[in-house]
């Protein structure tokens, strides 16, 4: 890649923390219509009827084709690939040499010699780097997210979520759809166009009976398929979902999608930083919140911290395997849900509007994230026990909540903690001057909805 690379930008900034904390970027953008009805009804639809999100624009899609695709993926992924192939899918987990999370993305098996990684740009870029610089007979085919591309996307991608999802898909298809196993891909037609559908969920409990389908196909078929789905869904209460509701889906499912990736420091990832352009997503990402350690490494997590122990399979060699084996018996953190105290949330919202020079940090409703990477300190008394990540309100929970990674000892249902809300000092573009405050919260190891 030409121009300044990420490593050079970090050196110019002084440290990766200085680069990230001074970056003006806000929350990860979802370039879709904000609301179709209203975000509250759209949230309730994925629990009561069904909702359709158009995911055709915000995710990077990088495909890998060739005889070495399987070896490439197995060398980099913690997942087992013994049965992977056409119409199989995985939540692909990648680590650095020290077993720290680079990121995750959804891996689609398109053919036995072709697969694609879909998600934020981090993991697709990580695998593309290794494909292009390693000894792999693999072609890399990029379909950039809308904010980074110069033309039309290659594929449409629709997420159909809710208890009526299968009924709607079957009506649009015209007959019964053969059962698709969880995290497998089925093939059928809608409006005479061939469609592929991944059985997974963004909002419910994984493994439930086909309450979530991710449908995709050639971009030129997208309009016809969408119209057929909307027409079929009218009798089932299907709603289209916009960016506002979409941003809150992970609060219920528990997917902590944007932790700081373990690529900003260390010799093992330096070649990747030198390969990656400075104006890439990772070079423009921002970091905010009250969790402010002095080392970028203190922001990194492992797959075990996020509950991915079942996805780490030691049946093959992969980047980070020795380190993860060493971490198996070490103390670890745990991902939990935090239910925020209603009175404290009300106080913070009011204080951000009416308290003048002593105003609190504005809590944007229903999604309170204001940076690419949002890290707010979680406290037991004065002691920092972890960080809170995504935060917001959903009508199905009926209150404010966040996802958090905290010390195992505190990860017990009903444990009372506090979240430190607001920046520790100074401002950057997009963040108003404010004072920090604390918000009481209760730990839950299970989904709140």
Span 60-96, pLDDT tens digits: 999 999 999 999 999 999 999 999 999 999 999 999 9
SS3 category, 380 = strand
Max alpha carbon distance in the chain (Å)?
63
Using an 8 Å Cβ cutoff, are 57 and 156 in contact?
Answer: no
- pLDDT score of 1 more than 50: no
pLDDT number for residue 28: 93
Angle between helices 222-233 and 165-173 (to 10 degrees): 120
Q: Write out the H or E segment, with its range, that includes residue 20.
A: helix 16-22
Work out the pLDDT band at 148, boundaries 50, 70, 90: confident
Distance (Å, whole) CA 328 – CA 359: 45
pLDDT number for residue 203: 62
Q: What is the second-level CATH architecture of the domain 333-444?
A: Beta Barrel (2.40)
Distance (Å, whole) CA 348 – CA 439: 8
* Average pLDDT over every residue of 353-365: 94
Work out the pLDDT band at 182, boundaries 50, 70, 90: very high
Work out the pLDDT band at 360, boundaries 50, 70, 90: very high
pLDDT number for residue 3: 86
Summarised one tens digit per residue, pLDDT across range 28-68 is 999 999 999 999 999 999 999 999 999 999 999 999 999 99
Using an 8 Å Cβ cutoff, are 175 and 104 in contact?
Answer: no
Mean of the per-residue pLDDT values of the chain: 95
Summarised one tens digit per residue, pLDDT across range 309-348 is 999 999 999 999 999 999 998 888 999 999 999 999 999 9
CATH of the domain spanning 39-58+152-253: 3.30.1360.120
Where exactly does CATH 3.30.1360.120 map onto the chain? 39-58+152-253
Where exactly does CATH 2.40.30.110 map onto the chain? 333-444
Residue 110 C-alpha from the chain's centroid: 22
Residue 339 C-alpha from the chain's centroid: 20
Strand partners, 63: 116, 141
Comparing 272 with 201, the larger pLDDT belongs to 272
Number of separate helices (H) and strands (E) present in the chain: 13, 19
- pLDDT score of 206 more than 70: no
* Average pLDDT over every residue of 286-292: 96
Q: What is the pTM of this model?
A: 0.95
Summarised one tens digit per residue, pLDDT across range 156-165 is 999 999 999 9
Show the CA angle centred on residue 415, arms to residues 410 and 421, nearest 5°. Answer: 85
Show the CA angle centred on residue 275, arms to residues 132 and 20, nearest 5°. Answer: 135
Closest to 373 measured CA to CA, from 303, 295, 435, 289: 289
Report the percent of the chain where pLDDT is more than 70. Answer: 97
| 426 Cβ neighbours under 8 A, 6+ residues apart | none
pLDDT number for residue 427: 64
Q: Write out the H or E segment, with its range, that includes residue 275.
A: helix 270-275
């Amino acid at each position: 890649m030409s121009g300044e690379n990420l490593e050079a930008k970090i050196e110019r900034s002084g440290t990766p923390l200085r680069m990230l904390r001074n970056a003006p970027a806000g929350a990860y953008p979802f370039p879709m219509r904000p609301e179709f009805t209203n975000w509250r009804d759209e949230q309730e639809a994925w629990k009561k009827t069904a909702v359709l999100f158009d995911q055709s624009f915000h995710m990077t899609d990088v495909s890998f084709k060739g005889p070495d695709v399987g070896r490439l993926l197995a060398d980099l992924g913690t997942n087992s690939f013994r049965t992977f192939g056409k119409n199989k899918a995985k939540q692909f987990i990648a680590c650095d040499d020290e077993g720290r999370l680079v990121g995750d993305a959804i891996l689609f098996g398109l053919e036995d010699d072709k697969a694609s990684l879909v998600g934020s740009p981090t993991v697709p870029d990580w695998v593309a780097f290794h494909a292009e610089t390693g000894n792999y007979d693999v072609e890399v085919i990029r379909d950039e997210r809308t904010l980074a591309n110069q033309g039309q996307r290659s594929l449409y991608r629709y997420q159909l979520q809710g208890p009526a999802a299968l009924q709607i898909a079957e009506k649009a298809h015209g007959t019964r759809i053969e059962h698709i196993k969880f995290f497998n891909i089925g093939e059928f037609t809608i409006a005479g166009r061939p469609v592929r559908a991944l059985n997974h969920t963004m909002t419910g409990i994984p493994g439930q009976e086909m309450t979530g389908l991710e449908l995709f196909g050639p971009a030129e078929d997208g309009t016809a398929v969408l119209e057929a789905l909307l027409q079929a869904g009218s009798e089932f209460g299907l709603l289209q979902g916009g960016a506002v509701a979409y941003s809150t889906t992970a609060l219920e499912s528990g997917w902590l999608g944007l932790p700081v990736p373990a690529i900003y420091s260390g010799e093992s990832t330096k070649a990747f930083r030198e390969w990656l352009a400075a104006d890439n997503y990772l070079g423009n990402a921002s970091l905010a919140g009250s969790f402010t350690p002095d080392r970028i490494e203190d922001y990194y997590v492992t797959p075990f911290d996020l509950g991915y122990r079942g996805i780490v399979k030691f049946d093959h060699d992969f980047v980070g395997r020795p380190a993860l084996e060493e971490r198996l018996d070490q103390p670890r953190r745990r991902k939990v849900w935090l239910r925020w105290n209603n009175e404290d949330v009300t106080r913070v919202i009011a204080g951000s509007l009416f308290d003048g020079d002593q105003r609190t940090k504005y809590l944007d409703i229903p999604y309170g994230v204001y940076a690419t990477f949002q890290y707010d300190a979680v406290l037991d008394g004065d002691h920092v026990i972890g960080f809170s990540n995504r935060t917001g309100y959903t009508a199905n929970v009926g209150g404010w909540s966040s996802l958090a990674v905290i010390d195992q000892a505190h990860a017990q249902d009903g444990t009372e903690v506090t979240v430190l809300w607001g920046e520790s000092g100074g401002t950057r573009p997009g963040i108003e001057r404010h004072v920090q405050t604390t918000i009481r919260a209760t730990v839950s190891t299970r989904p709140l909805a």
